[in-house]
Structure 1
Amino acid sequence: MRIRRRGILGIAAGLAAPRIVRAQGAWPRQPIRLICPFAAGGPTDVAARLIADGLSNALPERVVVENRTGSGVVVGTEMVAKAPKDGATFLYSTVAHSVLRVLFNNLSFDPVRDFQPVALLGTIPMLLQVNNKVPADDLRALIAMVRDKPGRMDYGSSGAGGAVHLATELFLHAAGGLKMNHVPYRGSAPAMPDLLNGNLTMILNVASDGVESVRRGQTRGLAISSAKRVPQLPDVPTFSEAGLPGYEAYTWHMLFAPAGTPDDIVRKLNEAANAVVRDARVQQRFTEMTIQPRSDTTPETAAAWLGAEIEKWEPVVKAIGMTPA
């Protein structure tokens, strides 16, 4: 008999999600690999492990997160695209998935044709953070500072084509075509030491990864990319309030299966994932991470969401001339 694991975040044990009893020959027949194409310790990885722990308690087999980074999110995503369609391998990804086909012109897979969206799990705004050595006290002052020194300041990202990269380039474009140097990392967590020590001027971080450093005074938060302020940082204004009206950007978390995975497997995983996200303790942890939980999507509505995001972000990538730096 398999011993049920305790969640790494201390909340997965006892989830309300009902355990699915496995009939002979039914899915899953082996431990499930959940590929996360972001670095361990970053916000996407933390959320992926939270969901994996919940699924491990809801399903008859363990769900194990594997971090496979490289070329933005390409390496991990390619692994899932080429994985057997037997329900043993899935992808946990973000808005980065929606721009892969315009950001990289030599992919060995198609981000739409080779994947089946399973469930949209949550959405997250972005937090503009600067190191404490930056003299700008607000967004307008930062914009003026960057404008006065084009190409002389650096910003960090979680990787080429990721949410941080996209949101920052959109911000620079919206602020009048500002010029900064892009320094990509394998996840936003590895970028934070360089932000703290002043090697990076700023990072337009996934809010779930930036809240604590702002609360502790290690960095300063100048703006949040949602329509309203977030309760975790009530003193940080929205971009509109801070002087850049209309600017909004979000990342999101979604489960994907390789295209061709049997429909009954996709729907069973969708049902289990929705049940995990509905659990009160998961919702509380998501809220603490500034993730707005979603527990009502079907594979069809998740696919529609992905399509809308592709329509939104592909023109931005083309207009900005973004490359996988």
Structure 2
Amino acid sequence: MDRRHLLGLGAAAALAPVATRAQAPAWPTAPVRLVVPFAAGGPTDVPARLFADEISKILPQRMIVENRTGAGVVVGTDVVAKAPKDGQTLLYTTVAQSVLRPLFPRLPFDPVADFAPISLIGVIPMVITVNKDFPARTLQELIAKLRAEPGKWDYASSGNGGALHLAAELLLRRANVQANHVPYRGTAAAMPDVLNGSVPIIVDVATSALPFVQRGETRALAVMDDQRLPQLPNVPTTAEAGFPGLEAYTWHMVLAPSGTPEPIIDAVAAVFGRVAKEPSVRTRLSDLAMRIVDDQSPAYAKSWLEAERTKWEGIIREAGIQAD
């Protein structure tokens, strides 16, 4: 859907506050805060700003990204949990939303009851990678190596309870093998040891894994998705490598405070969905290794979030994972 079509949707639909019924509240009535509980310029912030900029061209009010970091994602998420239920303050977050409850039992909010999912924007798959000199060239060979030498090999992550840690534990438990977890303070801190081979295995987000793989500094064994990455056409999916259903992502989702009126939820979902269909937006997100989902509805976002909570809460319990 191009910009001319968007702007031709009519004043009532595109250039005026949205109200689906006469009695329904209008949205937006003021600039919309899109709270990102991650640092500016990071892999979550960049797509959020892309959407905010494009949506600001459609609506009569601007959408403004507000980075609220602290205590992981807790500070920014709490801001939205306690915001008015009017659609004027939204949360743009990731898979972290699905693991808050088991990792942080004393949160100032309920990560389930206090939020209404609006739209699942897209998913970025994890990539199973190893040091370029590691003696395994396929996922099957890696599993065989770990099985033959239990407890010998180490894998890196960006920290306890993070997406990289959870994805690696999912792999180990599905394959019934062992490896030692070495947590770092972020992926950037972990990569030097992956590159020098002292901690030779990492399950990384595709966005950050791609440059190292493309330069030949690491080797990608499998993509934890049901589709191959366009940037790595010769790297199989985990299903193709013999592990169907072994999928792990970081994903991007928009949520509102629970209790936000359904017409506003639908209006927010519609505008994010419109922008997600723009070819230029899809191209820019594809460059970040993000695959846009086809269904941008609140119902799909809710079902996805529930499934992710079930999966990761189970892994956290089984592995006894605790946050840093």
* TM-score, with structure 2 as normaliser: 0.82
| Corresponding residue of 2:225 | 226
Tell me by how many angstroms 1:142 deviates. Answer: 3.7
CA-atom RMSD in angstroms: 3.1
For structure 2, the 5+ residue unaligned runs are: 8-12, 19-24
**Rg larger in structure:** 2
| Corresponding residue of 2:316 | 317
Find the aligned partners of 1:261 and 1:218 in 2 and give their Cα distance: 48
Q: 1:217 and 1:40, CA in 2 relative to 1: closer, same or farther beyond 3 A?
A: farther
| Corresponding residue of 2:275 | 276
Contact 2:17 2:59 in 1 (8 A): no
Contact 2:28 2:61 in 1 (8 A): yes
| Corresponding residue of 1:32 | 32
Contact 1:96 1:162 in 2 (8 A): yes
| Corresponding residue of 1:5 | none
Q: Superposition pairs for residues 125-274 of structure 1, below 5 Å?
A: 125-132=125-132, 134-143=134-143, 148=149, 150=151, 153-157=154-158, 159-185=159-185, 188=187, 191-192=190-191, 195-196=194-195, 200-242=199-241, 244=243, 246-274=245-273
Tell me by how many angstroms 1:123 deviates. Answer: 2.4
The answer as to 2:21 corresponding to 1:22 is no
Q: 1:283 and 1:153, CA in 2 relative to 1: closer, same or farther beyond 3 A?
A: same
Find the aligned partners of 1:39 and 1:195 in 2 and give their Cα distance: 24
Q: 1:126 and 1:152, CA in 2 relative to 1: closer, same or farther beyond 3 A?
A: closer
Q: Over residues 13-36 of structure 1, what are the superposed CA-to-partner deviations in whole Å (9 max), with x where a residue is unaligned?
A: 958644832359953343322222
> Which segment is superposed worse, 27-36 or 193-202?
193-202
Q: 1:238 and 1:98, CA in 2 relative to 1: closer, same or farther beyond 3 A?
A: same
Tell me by how many angstroms 1:217 deviates. Answer: 2.3
> Which segment is superposed worse, 142-151 or 204-213?
142-151
Q: 1:39 and 1:133, CA in 2 relative to 1: closer, same or farther beyond 3 A?
A: farther
Tell me by how many angstroms 1:211 deviates. Answer: 2.2
Find the aligned partners of 1:41 and 1:175 in 2 and give their Cα distance: 36
- Tell me the number of residue pairs that the alignment of Structure 1 and Structure 2 aligns: 311
For structure 1, the 5+ residue unaligned runs are: 1-12
Instruction: Give the % identical residues.
Output: 48
Find the aligned partners of 1:104 and 1:151 in 2 and give their Cα distance: 31
Residue 47 of structure 2 aligns to which amino acid in structure 1? A
Find the aligned partners of 2:51 and 2:188 in 1 and give their Cα distance: 19
| Corresponding residue of 2:53 | 53
Find the aligned partners of 1:23 and 1:297 in 2 and give their Cα distance: 20
Contact 1:73 1:162 in 2 (8 A): no
Tell me by how many angstroms 1:62 deviates. Answer: 2.6
Find the aligned partners of 1:29 and 1:36 in 2 and give their Cα distance: 21
